[in-house]
Amino acid sequence: MALELAPSPALAPLASERPRAFSGIQPSGIVHLGNDLGAVRNYVRLQYDYDAIYCIVDYHALTTTHDGTLLRERTREMAASLLALGLDPEHCTLFVQSDRPEHTELAWLLATVTPVSWLERTPTYKEKKLNQPDDVNHGLLTYPVLQAADIVIYKATVVPVGRDQAAHLELSREIVRAFNARYGPTFPEPQAVFTDAPVVLGTDGVRKMSKSIGNTIDIFGAPELIRKQVMSMVTDTKRILRTDPGRPAVCNVCQLHRHFGADYEEIWDGERTARTGCVDTKKLLAERIIAYYAPARERYLELISKPAMVDEVLAAGAARLKPLAEATLAEVHAKMGLR
């Protein structure tokens, strides 16, 4: 199947009468089930009703990834992943953060209305300090200010994210309020929107799925990898014997079945009555995940073999946003007294 992704030069300008959605994703090297169920599915949905802008946040990634070649590769891989999962350049704007450096300037300006104490109490900052104690760089602390700048530079009001980003979104709203209070109404307060799976647990069944924890299901992995990851999932820890009844409400495998077939109640019933064992339920889940993502995986593999096509989409996206980003900065400069 031929892929036609490059946007036409006559790409329509952003339709200003529609509300604007914005979200960002780190170029982490893989896109896992948590990213898709928790956020990317909403990116795809919202692109039809909103002026939707999606950003691969490579500046943010610098707080944890320090290998330039790797970062560049991962940025393109993430772009290919998002396009493969259904972002359509005719319906949304996809770009790379560092292609619009106005974000970092606005982050500086917003930093001047942001008390350090707000940043120090951010849960992700506290977590990262524990995870990388030898690399508590300043970028980690100021990360949420850049995130706020990403959103408000386009005056977006709707932000599709997973629940783990809720604290960052709350902070974005606080920063907006602080700015508006000091310099007059300028930015709208952004709202997070969640999917029906705002927190996808990892294969350990306890912590949220995350590449840094290593508990992911890699949706574009080879089928053998997905099988291995799903088979390693922790289920209901109280179900010791095959004959013990299972508790679908606390079993991550059962919960994930919700998203991969209308018959999940039946699957749950099999577990409750011990008609089926955890292994059967996992095997079924693995095959369903593989089948569900197979077409997207094929598109991904094709896109990644055509880097120029992906780069063209990203360049067009960044170019399209230039006037918007510049207009916001000009307004902010005027309000703050810059020349």
Residue with tokens 């919960």: 255
Token couple for 238: 């109280």
199 is a site residue for ligand TYM (CB under 6 A): yes
34 vs 277 by CB, closer to ligand TYM: 34
Among 81, 122, 142, 147, binds ligand TYM (CB under 6 A): 147
Least Å distance, CB 70 to ligand TYM, is 16
Sign of CA dihedral 182, 187, 189, 193: negative
Residue 202 · residue 208 · CB < 8 Å = yes
113 is a site residue for ligand TYM (CB under 6 A): no
179 vs 270 by CB, closer to ligand TYM: 179
75 is a site residue for ligand TYM (CB under 6 A): no
Helix (H) or strand (E) holding 41: helix 41-46
Q: What are phi and psi of 6, to 5 degrees?
A: -60, 130
Candidates 142, 50, 47, 150; CA nearest to 98 is 150
142 is a site residue for ligand TYM (CB under 6 A): no
For 314, residues 6+ apart whose C-beta sits below 8 A from its C-beta are 56, 79, 94, 95, 96, 99
Separation of alpha carbons 50 and 43, rounded Å: 10
Least Å distance, CB 325 to ligand TYM, is 14
Least Å distance, CB 115 to ligand TYM, is 20
Among 20, 21, 35, 281, binds ligand TYM (CB under 6 A): 35
Q: 151, exposed or middle or buried, with CB in 10 Å at 0-12, 13-18, 19+? A: buried
Site size with ligand TYM, rule: CB under 6 A? 27
Among the listed residues 129, 208, 283, 335, the single catalytic one is: 208
Is 129 annotated in the active site? Answer: no
Among 150, 158, 173, 328, binds ligand TYM (CB under 6 A): 150
Among 87, 110, 151, 296, binds ligand TYM (CB under 6 A): 151
Is 155 annotated in the active site? Answer: no
Beta bridge partners of 51: 20
Is 128 annotated in the active site? Answer: yes
140 vs 151 by CB, closer to ligand TYM: 151
Identify which range of 4-12, 112-120, 163-171, 268-276 contacts ligand TYM by CB under 6 A. 163-171
Q: What are phi and psi of 218, to 5 degrees?
A: -90, 105
Q: 194, exposed or middle or buried, with CB in 10 Å at 0-12, 13-18, 19+? A: middle
304 is a site residue for ligand TYM (CB under 6 A): no
Residues forming the active site? 128, 208, 211
User: Which positions touch ligand TYM (CB under 6 A)?
Assistant: 22-26, 28, 34-35, 38-39, 57, 60, 147, 150-151, 159, 161-162, 164-165, 168, 198-200, 208-210
